[in-house]
Structure 1
Amino acid sequence: MFRRMFWFLTGAATGVWATVKVNRAVRRLSPESLAAKSADRALETGARLRLFARDVRAGMAQREGELQDALGLTGRDQPKVLPAGGDRTTALPAGDDTAGRPGRTSDLPAARRGITYNAHDRKDDH
């Protein structure tokens, strides 16, 4: 009698255990659960990418500062860089806002206006 009772209880416990496991798997693999898990992982990935981008920007700013210090470009007389044709090709001295106006500094030769040309612009070499 005890042997039968033991096997009956063992079977019942195994059935309950198996039912709980199957129900958990069904809930975990349901479309709503998969969508929620995907959304959570997408948010986590987005947060990691934002942190990575912030670290990259901080590293870029630090390296730019190091390069400016090494090249001696940290002074107050640093020229303003104006885009021309989509790239940085000309620079005007700080405070020179009269360039391009007729009868003003634009009538002076380029060297006297403070305009410098990009050394990497190879369009004139060909």
Structure 2
Amino acid sequence: MFRRAFWFTAGAAAGVWATTKVNRKLRQLTPESLAAQAANKAIETGYRLKDFALDVRAGMAQREAELGEALGVDAAADRALPAQRRRAALENHKHHKKHYGMLDEKPPYDRNEDH
């Protein structure tokens, strides 16, 4: 009698455990859950790439300082373009857009574009 009760209880517990496990897995495989997991992985990858880029930039600055010290160059170069060059670059960009008809207007439809 006790043996039957034990096996009945063990079977019921195994059934509840298996059902719970299967339901969890099914919830993980829904499209919404898969999309959320992919988004989380993409965000995590973005953070890792950002950290990598910051490490590379710091290493570049350190190596540049070492080379400057070894060569006897102590003046830190200004990274921004001088005002004249920046203005010329912006004007060239506007000229490029105007030349190709992209300044505040839609380009004309090209029927061969889809082929």
Q: TM-score, normalised by structure 1?
A: 0.56
In the alignment, which residue of structure 1 is the partner of 2:61?
61
User: Which structure 1 segments of 5+ residues have no match?
Assistant: 83-126
Partner Cα distance (1:75, 1:39) in 2: 45
In the alignment, which residue of structure 2 is the partner of 1:28?
28
Q: Deviations over 1:4-30 (max 9, x none)?
A: 222221111111011011001101111
Q: Deviations over 1:41-77 (max 9, x none)?
A: 111111011001001001111111111111122159x
In the alignment, which residue of structure 1 is the partner of 2:44?
44
More helix by share: 2
Larger radius of gyration: 1
Instruction: Kindly report the root-mean-square deviation, in angstroms, between the aligned alpha carbons of the 2 structures.
Output: 2.0
Partner Cα distance (1:31, 1:11) in 2: 33
User: Which structure 2 segments of 5+ residues have no match?
Assistant: 82-115
More strand by share: 1
| Offset at residue 3 of structure 1 (A) | 2.2
Partner Cα distance (1:68, 1:14) in 2: 70
1:70 maps to a residue whose letter is A
1:45 maps to a residue whose letter is T
In the alignment, which residue of structure 2 is the partner of 1:14?
14
Runs of 4+, deviation exceeding 3 Å = none
Q: How many residues align?
A: 78
Q: TM-score, normalised by structure 2?
A: 0.61
- Sequence identity (%): 67
